[in-house]
């Protein structure tokens, strides 16, 4: 089995996204919602799998983000859909935090 390497790219400063907030960043042609859950950062695609809604504009409830269009919820740690009407997960990305810089893995 061949190992693929993950390229980590700078997304934000830790101070840019307060606990309980999500912000959207565009990197390498992707819109990524960066979520701060009690000081731990998670990154998921910004697009709801139900109807393409902007997840980063939704409310963060603990480890779940709610789509502002129809209320679908996703676990930001895994991307798993946890509330209808969404049933398909969103992509989640590995995150590294080094010296106040949040990096996301795009591999």
pLDDT digits (tens, 9 = 90+) for 41-74: 999 999 999 999 999 999 999 999 999 999 999 9
Residue 1 belongs to some domain of the structure: no
Range of the domain at 88: 8-105
Residue 2 belongs to some domain of the structure: no
Q: Would you list the DSSP string of 22-58?
A: EEEEEETTEEEEEEEETTEEEEEESB-TTT--BGGGS
Q: What is the pTM of this model?
A: 0.93
- Quote the pLDDT of residue 4: 60
- In CATH, what number is assigned to the domain containing residue 74? 2.102.10.10
Residue 55 belongs to some domain of the structure: yes
Residue 19 belongs to some domain of the structure: yes
Domain count, the chain: 1
């Amino acid at each position: 089995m061949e190992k693929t390497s993950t390229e980590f790219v700078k997304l934000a400063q830790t101070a840019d996204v307060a606990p309980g907030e999500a912000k959207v960043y565009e990197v390498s042609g992707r819109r990524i919602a960066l979520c701060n859950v009690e000081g731990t950062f998670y990154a998921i695609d910004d697009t709801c799998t139900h109807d393409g809604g902007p997840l980063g504009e939704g409310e963060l409830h603990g480890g779940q983000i709610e789509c502002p269009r129809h209320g679908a919820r996703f676990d930001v740690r895994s991307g798993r859909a946890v509330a209808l009407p969404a049933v398909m997960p969103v992509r989640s990305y590995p995150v590294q935090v080094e010296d106040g810089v949040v990096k996301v893995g795009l591999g």
